[in-house]
Amino acid sequence: MNIAILDDYQDTVRTLACFGTVAGHDVTIWRDHTEDVEILAERLRDAEALALIRERTPIGALLLERLDRLRLISQMSAYPHIDVAACTRRGVLLSSCMAPAQPSYATAELAWGLIIAAMRRIPQETAALKAGRWQGATVGIGLRGKTLGVFGYGGIGAVVAGYGRAFGMDVLVWGRETTIARARADSYAIADSKAELFARSDVVTLHLRLVEATRGLVTAADLARMKPSALIVNTSRAGLIAPGALEAALAAGRPGMAAVDVYEEEPVLGARHPLLALDNVVCTPHLGYVERGQLEIMFGKIFEQILAYAAGAPINVVNPEALGART
């Protein structure tokens, strides 16, 4: 099969052990990102199977209509970026193994790395030292005895809460009723409200899925309740925070710091994002799940789905109706 892989920014896929499983196929890997339908249609004109890295590129009807040879889209986890109805009409099968039961430890680890980096000003102090200065003007803040606010106690949120406990922090949780019950069973304190979570916490870390009900859930008013010394961390989705609210809140001094791994439009190129210009913000380029072990798991499943289709026994099929749609 002709297999195309999009958005492999770091040219990592060909170095994975699982890449050997598709050695007998013609694989083309694109490292740069584009959402231009004309460019994508040209790049993918011979593709029979398309492998996607999470939600980096949207696959809509206009593009699908240009891809006459495409038979399969293989990916892992949720698929809000794919027009499934258009896939079905075009006879394109979508195979997507949903995320495993275990949480993304890589994302939880990154969140904790951002917390330490921001609170102790590690990036700023490193840059100052390389520039010939010794200890910057702003002193960092330790974590022991401080309050960690975990907004969303799902798989990742629970892991981050455990890290907070190990660091001697007082952990405070808020979220949906079902997750609050789970946090209470794990002996964590529960905030009386979302407002209290933001007001009491020295660090607020977001661990929520982005759906219509959670879009813009963190408001300007929430951020204004935070302490001037507090930090907000977002390794989930940029859309959880109301547009422009974080930049305005940081300018107003509440909270005093932010650590961000996700952005409204990705990739962010040419340093064209207002948060990148702020000294009190630590920014990383959506590295949450981007870790070699996670990528091995992801592409192991993606390639398994492609090989199953090639063998005539597709697996993890989202739209089985597509099997009979193509003549």
Q: Which of 266, 291, 296, 321 is catalytic?
A: 266
Tokens of 138: 């702003």
* Residue 251 Cα distances to 20, 149, 200, 223, 228, angstroms: 50, 22, 20, 11, 11
In 3D space, the residue among 223, 236, 289, 242 whose CA is nearest the CA of residue 262 turns out to be 236
How many Å apart are CA 307 and CA 311, to the nearest integer? 6
Known catalytic residue: 48?
no
Catalytic residue among 207, 237, 273, 304: 237
25 tagged catalytic:
no
Q: What residue type is assigned to position 252 of the chain?
A: A
Nearest C-alpha neighbor of 10 from the set 317, 247, 285? 285
CA dihedral (230, 272, 238, 115) in degrees, to 10, reads: -30
From 90, 273, 286, 304, the catalytic residue? 286
What single letter denotes the amino acid at residue 72?
L
Active site residue 286: yes
Active site residues: 237, 266, 286
